[in-house]
Structure 1
Amino acid sequence: MRVVHSVLAGLLFALAAAAGIANAQPVQQDMTETEVAFDSHGVTLRGTVFTPASPGRHPAVVLIHGSGPGPRAEYLPEAQAFARAGVTTLVFDKRTIGYSTTHRDFSLLADDALAGVALLRTRTDVDPAAVGLWGFSEGGWVAPLAAARSPEVAFVVTIGGSGRTPLRTQTWSLRNRLAHQGITGSLPAAVAGPGAQFINGTGLFPEANFDPAPVLAQIHAPVLALWGEHDVKVPAAESAEIFQSELARAGNHSVTTCFVPGAGHNGHRTTDGFDSIGGAVFDGKPLGELGPGYADVITDWIHAVADGRPPASSAVPAPPETSLSRAPDGRPAYEYAALAFLLIGFAAYPLSAAARMLLRRSDTRRPSSVRWAARSVSALGLATVLGGVACVEWVLVTGAQRAPAVVLLGQPLQWLIVHILAATVLLAVAALALTWWRNRNRIDAISRAQLAILLLTGCVFVPWALHWQLLR
């Protein structure tokens, strides 16, 4: 079945390519490289312009990075392939000032891209009316934003661009990666739901709620949106539908969406979206060779647009997706309020007991069985809440790049331990309630208040644990 899908995808990709390239351009054998520098918002950005060897003015494109540091070396295969096919290409090092893991500004990145467009438009070997943008992954949010701001952007090409918000896209991607690691239990649901809302509230997931739909609805330049057949990082089928509908809303009549056969998120060769086949090595890892026909479809489409023949809108059916993305459940305010209540409630008993000891107040009217039951609920509750949140947020922070050492019953060992602790908390709460009832005549008023708070916290723990998938 996988082979059949790959063959069909190849045929569909060929049909999509043919629809946009009535006259394919000859491949250039040589090219020249020029080091350049340009300024944007007080930062000097440095890059390389790859120019076709053929004389005359050429269409041109600025490459916009995916997430991460973004040195130009990562995008040399695309830059060189485009230049050899007659498209002048600027690839530059992404800014490091104003961009980090916990802080990024798509608006700022869009201005950087537009500064690159302005640079290319001044070159004598570039057709100033045919300068566009190519955006990969994160660049699939940035390129449309830049195009919506400036009429000087003649076209937009995206590869692996998402039509969903960054946070929703990331949780969909993490569900795929966890499934690839053999994790099929409740952890993916916890990551995509309360875990995502929790990290959203910290502000440590930048541009989490950036919605690309309103931006797409403002673009009138021709758009070519591509996704790899095996893209596991963005929901390609959903994104293609959003691109088509929102760009049509803008009255855009040249929108082509199609899928690169045998390619992953970056349009490079893969078998399943998680590995890379051949290609250049970057940061110690192979990038994978460019997907078959990928560069040709892009450059031929660009030439068609530059020649005043933008292809009419067309959409190739998307390969089947394993699951749909979903918006994270709950709200950050609820997640933090519930967490604070549980931590304070479970910690109140030992803290108040310590205060009584410091004040040298006797608790002889509190039977030892009650003390042990209360201490058990407090310790187990704190360990479960902190452990559960830590497991989920660790996946979100690290991107699940490394598979857990031990997976049992579809669960990482750490997550399975937290599940056991959560069930034990319920037993401990029941035991505390029973012990208190049996010794109710031997407990003073202060101790009754302490135990009431602890039992109330235990009751609140139940819906919270269900929400965080700890009792499922």
Structure 2
Amino acid sequence: MRRVAVIVAGLVMLVLFGVGLIFTFSRLGDFELPQDNQQTVAFSQGGNTLEGTLITASGDGPVVLLVHGDGPQDRWSSGGYLPLVNTLLDAGISVFSWDKPGVGTSTGNWLHQSMNDRADETLAAIEALRQLQGAGQRPIGLLGFSQAGWVLPHVPALTDDVSFLLLMGGAINWQSQGRYYATIRLEREGKTPAEIATELTRQAKAHRVWFGDDATYDEYLAAERSAGQREDSTLSKDRFLFARLNHHEDARSDIAGLTLPVLVLSGADDLNADPQETVSAYRSLLNGVHTQSRFHIVPDATHSLLSARRYNYQRLDQWPFTTQARFLLSGRNAYADGVLKTATDWIVEVSTATHKN
């Protein structure tokens, strides 16, 4: 009996030692924001009242506004942004982010927005920050994700008060991005090349009809059902109207008008947006425009610039529990090698140059 007790005690000590190691070497702290220097900021645009949080990292350093990708994102993307946010704060870069319309404490409905509406909203956020005491002439930059690829390039046409743009996992053309996403999804479902080609042709024909001006949502729904599409793959009415509103988006004309520093980071293993198309478009349109602009395809990186070996899924709801746990324990280490250093070093570099000018 005594021997059993000794063995049990040893096992308990081993488990406690393992838990201690996890907490010692994990990055759980990356998901905790500093409680000091936080300020709630509210502003209005398009009949909506938007609310967010500004976290000040330094008295005169740059401020980065986070511009969301697709989906019902709150200001910190349900905590997913926090390792990135803490990395920015550690580098002396202040951060402002807000809940999308209809999410968190913001009013409205994000699915009723065009990309121009989202650019106007970003401009309103900049103006709200400039009204705060101590905002002064600190450099303001935009850091956007995915769908923000159609938002960020348009904002500098609305204001001179943006010093730089940093785009992660952005796309160029709405329709080609949709084809790329669908192709990857069908491949991962095990469809043959012939089956994929047939489905993409069907979708292209359907989209020309449904995202024109005359088709109704009920007509779309009936046609998708008759084509044998699963119920969970059909669009809600709001999503249908959102797609119609933005179906013809292409960022090239806005990109061509940019004169400020731009950093583009696209993951080589992006399953959502074609990294070659994105980086090639920026390079061809902005080559030689600004000496500090950079356009990178990052090896072993996902759509969100996380490590592709561990986190490469098209949607977050596809992450198994083990992947979720790994992310929580890894924090900023979940990103592909060099991504966060590249981003923070570049922001500090271009902001210092802006300040000198």
Same fold flag (TM > 0.5): yes
Among residues 265, 268, 285, which one is paired with 2:303 in the alignment?
A: 265
Q: Which residue of structure 1 aligns with residue 28 of structure 2? A: none
CA offsets 1:278-303 (integer angstroms, 9 cap, x no match):
3249xxxx999333332221121111
Does residue 1:144 correspond to 2:153, yes or no? yes
Does residue 1:49 correspond to 2:54, yes or no? yes
Q: Which residue of structure 1 aligns with residue 270 of structure 2? A: 231
Percent of aligned positions that are identical = 27
| Total equivalences in the alignment | 272
Distance 2:276 2:53 in 1: 34
Distance 1:287 1:140 in 2: 23
Does residue 1:112 correspond to 2:121, yes or no? yes
Give unpaired runs (5+ residues) of structure 2.
1-32, 103-107, 212-239, 314-318
Does residue 1:220 correspond to 2:259, yes or no? yes
Residue type at the aligned position of 1:33? Q
Does residue 1:99 correspond to 2:125, yes or no? no
The alignment's TM-score, normalised by the length of structure 2, stands at: 0.69
Q: CA separation of 1:184/1:263 partners in 2, compared to 1, >3 Å: closer, same or farther?
A: same
Find the residue that maps to 1:45 and give its secondary structure.
strand
Find the residue that maps to 1:58 and give its secondary structure.
coil
The alignment's TM-score, normalised by the length of structure 1, stands at: 0.53
CA offsets 1:142-188 (integer angstroms, 9 cap, x no match):
1111123221111100001112x112101111111211222124332
Give unpaired runs (5+ residues) of structure 1.
1-28, 311-472
Find the residue that maps to 1:194 and give its secondary structure.
helix
Distance 1:87 1:234 in 2: 28
1:227-376 correspondence runs (5 A):
227-248=266-287, 251-271=289-309, 273-274=312-313, 278-280=326-328, 289-308=334-353
Residue type at the aligned position of 2:69? G
Q: Which residue of structure 1 aligns with residue 162 of structure 2? A: 153
Contact 1:79 1:90 in 2 (8 A): no
Q: Which residue of structure 2 aligns with residue 82 of structure 1? A: 88
1:440-451 correspondence runs (5 A):
none
Q: Which residue of structure 1 aligns with residue 25 of structure 2? A: none
Q: Which residue of structure 2 aligns with residue 183 of structure 1? A: 191
Q: CA separation of 1:127/1:267 partners in 2, compared to 1, >3 Å: closer, same or farther?
A: farther
Q: CA separation of 1:145/1:114 partners in 2, compared to 1, >3 Å: closer, same or farther?
A: same
Residue type at the aligned position of 1:304? E
Distance 1:88 1:57 in 2: 9
CA offsets 1:444-471 (integer angstroms, 9 cap, x no match):
xxxxxxxxxxxxxxxxxxxxxxxxxxxx
Contact 1:132 1:156 in 2 (8 A): yes
Among residues 166, 190, 201, which one is paired with 2:174 in the alignment?
A: 166
Distance 1:247 1:194 in 2: 35
Between 1 and 2, higher relative CO (CA 8 Å, sep ≥ 6) is seen in 2
Contact 2:83 2:332 in 1 (8 A): no
Find the residue that maps to 2:296 and give its secondary structure.
strand
Shift in Å at residue 129 of structure 1?
Answer: 4.7
CA offsets 1:51-94 (integer angstroms, 9 cap, x no match):
21x4x211011101111111123133322321222111111101
Contact 1:59 1:126 in 2 (8 A): no
Contact 1:129 1:154 in 2 (8 A): no
Distance 1:252 1:308 in 2: 12
Distance 2:119 2:334 in 1: 28
**Structure of larger gyration radius:** 1
Distance 1:118 1:227 in 2: 29
Residue type at the aligned position of 1:60? V
Contact 1:130 1:306 in 2 (8 A): yes
Q: CA separation of 1:202/1:124 partners in 2, compared to 1, >3 Å: closer, same or farther?
A: same
